[in-house]
């Protein structure tokens, strides 16, 4: 295993390679960045190299006992802390601590991966702190999180952080055409909505329905000017249907207004994301003033930020729709 298949994330990968080559391995790492960006994939590769008995700088051999067991998912020296329920509690961490006190059986290191580390309760984090303060020399703990701020300062200060960045539009597009062989235009469409996250692009690709949802959102936004209440009702139900993925709908809304702005106000019709909706976009560009468009975009972005800061989702959406209705009368 090596890092050659990782798209982008050059800073992270380079830094990990340097630490592997110079054999300067920490006991605790935090891999932070958006969901679906590849943190766990990189953590897995890094772990396999750390554990490999052949110790080949920045790749694992794939042949030693540790590698063979790792690849078929049965290496006892590699543990992923999967928890049921919404939080990682003290008991989960105690289990880890008990386990880490036993030396590795087949590998150079014993690696513990904690996905969604932000789910650790404060007590769990304080409990983990004891291990971070006095880790066994063979122990490595990798915390993976999309919410770095949820980790205690004491945990952060004892860990090496690697922050994963969003991929570029072109990287996502190239990934989709190379890996899935989908045509260029469709790849561009999906990449626009993936917002630099490859995991999200794959999700969208699998959830074929993205175009259908987009059409409904756009229809409702167009309606907003004429029959506000009906449109608000329609958008609200789209949010309800999509449940966990409300952010996608906010993206669709943003990109629609962005297209109108780009096409109508700056006269550039060739870089539309919703290029198949050109007529609707041009028509709306004639009807909506630049000021209104910018206000609409600001309202949606405000909502997205509020949700990121854990505002009540439903309430935030309702407030947004009220403002939009008012703005577009
Ligand atoms: Zn190996």
Higher pLDDT, 160 or 269: 160
Query: What is the 54 CA–ligand 1 centroid distance (Å)?
Result: 5
* Residue 151, pLDDT score: 95
167-200 confidence digits (pLDDT tens): 999 999 999 888 888 888 788 888 888 889 999 8
Query: What is the 323 CA–ligand 1 centroid distance (Å)?
Result: 59
Query: What is the 30 CA–ligand 1 centroid distance (Å)?
Result: 24
Does the predicted model carry a pTM greater than 0.95? no
Query: What is the 37 CA–ligand 1 centroid distance (Å)?
Result: 26
Unique residue bearing structure tokens 């690849």: 71
Query: What is the 69 CA–ligand 1 centroid distance (Å)?
Result: 10
Strand spans (E) along the chain: 28-32, 78-80, 110-114, 139-145, 160-163
Query: What is the 21 CA–ligand 1 centroid distance (Å)?
Result: 16
Query: What is the 50 CA–ligand 1 centroid distance (Å)?
Result: 9
* Residue 208, pLDDT score: 66
7 pLDDT above the threshold of 80: yes
Instruction: Label residue 244 exposed, middle or buried (CB < 10 Å: 0-12, 13-18, 19+).
Output: exposed
Query: What is the 47 CA–ligand 1 centroid distance (Å)?
Result: 11
200-247 confidence digits (pLDDT tens): 898 888 776 777 888 889 999 988 877 778 888 888 888 888 766 788
Query: What is the 39 CA–ligand 1 centroid distance (Å)?
Result: 22
84-103 core/surface letters (b: 16 or more CB in 10 A; e: else): eeeebebebbeebeeebeee
270-318 confidence digits (pLDDT tens): 677 887 888 888 888 888 888 989 999 999 999 988 887 877 888 898 8
Instruction: State the Cα angle at 310 between 88 and 41, rounded to 5°.
Output: 50
Higher pLDDT, 234 or 42: 42
Query: What is the 112 CA–ligand 1 centroid distance (Å)?
Result: 18
Query: What is the 109 CA–ligand 1 centroid distance (Å)?
Result: 12
Query: What is the 75 CA–ligand 1 centroid distance (Å)?
Result: 12
Query: What is the 60 CA–ligand 1 centroid distance (Å)?
Result: 5
């Amino acid at each position: 295993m090596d890092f050659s298949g990782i798209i982008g994330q050059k800073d992270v990968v380079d830094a990990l390679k340097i630490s592997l080559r110079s054999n300067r391995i920490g006991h605790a790492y935090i891999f932070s960045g958006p969901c679906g960006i590849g943190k766990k994939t990189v953590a897995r590769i890094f772990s396999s190299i750390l554990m490999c008995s052949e110790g080949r700088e920045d790749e694992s051999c794939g042949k030693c006992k540790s590698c063979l067991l790792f690849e078929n998912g049965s290496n006892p020296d590699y543990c992923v802390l999967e928890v049921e329920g919404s939080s990682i509690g003290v008991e989960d961490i105690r289990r880890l601590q008990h386990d880490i006190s036993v030396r590795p059986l087949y590998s150079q290191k014993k690696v513990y991966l904690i996905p969604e580390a932000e789910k650790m309760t404060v007590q769990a984090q304080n409990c983990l702190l004891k291990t971070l303060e006095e880790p066994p020399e063979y122990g490595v703990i990798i915390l993976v999180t999309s919410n770095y701020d949820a980790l205690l300062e004491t945990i952060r200060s004892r860990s090496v952080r690697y922050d994963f960045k969003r991929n570029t539009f072109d990287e996502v597009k190239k990934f989709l055409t190379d890996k899935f062989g989908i045509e260029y235009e469709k790849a561009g469409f999906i990449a626009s909505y993936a917002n630099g996250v490859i995991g999200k692009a794959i999700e969208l690709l699998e959830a074929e329905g993205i175009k259908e949802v987009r059409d409904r959102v756009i229809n409702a936004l167009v309606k907003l000017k004429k029959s506000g209440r009906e449109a608000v009702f329609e958008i609200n139900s789209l949010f309800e249907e999509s449940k966990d993925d409300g952010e996608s709908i906010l993206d669709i809304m943003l990109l629609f207004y962005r297209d109108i702005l780009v096409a109508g106000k700056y006269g550039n019709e060739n870089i539309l994301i919703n290029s198949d909706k050109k007529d609707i976009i041009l028509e709306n560009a004639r009807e909506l003033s630049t000021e209104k468009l910018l206000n609409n975009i600001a309202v949606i972005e405000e909502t997205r930020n509020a949700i990121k800061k854990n505002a009540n989702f439903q309430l935030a959406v309702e407030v947004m729709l009220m403002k939009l209705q008012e703005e577009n009368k």
